Amino acid sequence: MLDIRKLRLLRELSHRGTIAAVAAALTYTPSAVSQQLSALEREAGVPLLERTGRTVRLTPAATTLVEHTESILEILHRASADLADAATSLSGTLRIGTFPTAVPTITTPAVVTLSTDHPSLNLLVSELDPAKMADALRSDSLDLALIQEYDHVPLAREPGIGREPLMEEAVHLAALDAISLHDSHEAPWIAGTPGTLCHTLTIRACEADGFTPYIRHHADDFGAVLALVAAGQGLALVPDLAARNPPDGVVLTPQGIQRRTYLAYRRGTRSHPGIAAACQALHAVVSPKGKTVIP
C-alpha cells in the first residue's frame, strides 16, 4: 500500500522542482525528503526519480502517480469536509491568505462577520503575494486564499486547486496628467519587485503597446507607489482597490485592463463548513445585493 504522506512529498517535488524547496516548504530536512522518496520508489516497485548530480526529475511513472495523488487528496478532503459538516457548530482553525489592498476593504469586514457569527472559529489571516498562494494552499499553510490575475497576466490552472470568481476591477495609469500607455513610451515607471504580478503586468502591458518600460523604482505597497508618482518619479499601473484616495496631483486614467480576484482552495474542501462560511462572507462584502461592487 502506498503511503499518502510520501505521495504528498512526490507531488510537492513535481510543483517545486527541487528536494531542497520541498524540505523548506514542509519543514523537513532535505535528507529526510530524499529518504522518504526513496522509500516510495521501493513501495512503487518502479523508478520514480531520475537523478543527475544534485538535480532530480520525475519519471513518466512518477508523473502518473502525481495525477493519482491529486485525485486521492481531493477524496480525502471531501471526506474531512463531510465529517466537519456533521458538527453542531463551527470550530477549529481557518487560515486565510490575502493581498494588501484587500485587507481593509474585503478581508477585514468578512473576518469581522465570521468572528461574530462563529465565535469558536479561530481565524488566521496572512498577507501574501498572490503568486505564492497556490503553493501555500497545497502545503496546507492556507485553507482559503484570494488570488488574482490581470488581462496581461492570466492565472495558470493549478492541479489540486479549485477557484471561483470574487470580483473584477479596472486598472488605471497613475500619472501627473491624464495620459495613456501610448503616450508614455519615454517615461520612467514604478513597478512591483521582480517576480510579483504587478511587476509582470507593467512589463507585459507596456510590451503589448510596443515598448519596453524603463522601471526606475520598485515598490510593492501601492501607497508608496502613488507617493512616488505624486513626487514626479514615474508612472504606475494601479487597480481600483488601491486608487481610492490618490495623493493630490495624481491623475488616474483607466487603461481598459482588468484585474480579477478569485477565491481559491484545495479541491474537495469547498464544502467544508468553515470554508463555505468564509466564502459566503467574502462574497457578501463584495456583492451584498448580488451585484459586483468595489467596496
Residues 17-59 pLDDT 10s? 888 888 888 888 888 988 889 899 888 889 899 887 777 889 9
Contact 80, 270 (CB under 8 A): no
The values of phi and psi at residue 42, to 5°, are -65, -40
Q: Where are the beta strands (DSSP E) in the chain?
A: 49-52, 55-58, 92-98, 121-127, 144-150, 161-175, 188-191, 214-218, 236-239, 251-266
Domain ranges of the chain: 4-83, 89-168+260-286, 171-256
Fold of 89-168+260-286: D-Maltodextrin-Binding Protein; domain 2 (3.40.190)
68-80 pLDDT, tens digit each: 998 888 888 888 8
pLDDT tens-place string over residues 181-238:
988 899 999 999 998 989 999 999 999 999 999 999 999 999 999 999 999 999 999 9
Under CATH, domain 171-256 is a member of which superfamily? Periplasmic binding protein-like II (3.40.190.10)
Q: What is the mean pLDDT of residues 129-146?
A: 90
What average pLDDT is seen over the chain?
90
Q: How far apart are CA 198 and CA 129, in angstroms?
A: 10
Fold of 4-83: Arc Repressor Mutant, subunit A (1.10.10)
- Distances in Å between the Cα of 3 and the Cα atoms of 49, 56, 74, 152, 164 are 17, 21, 16, 41, 31
Contact indicator for 46, 57 with CB cutoff of 8 Å: no
Same fold, 89-168+260-286 and 171-256: yes
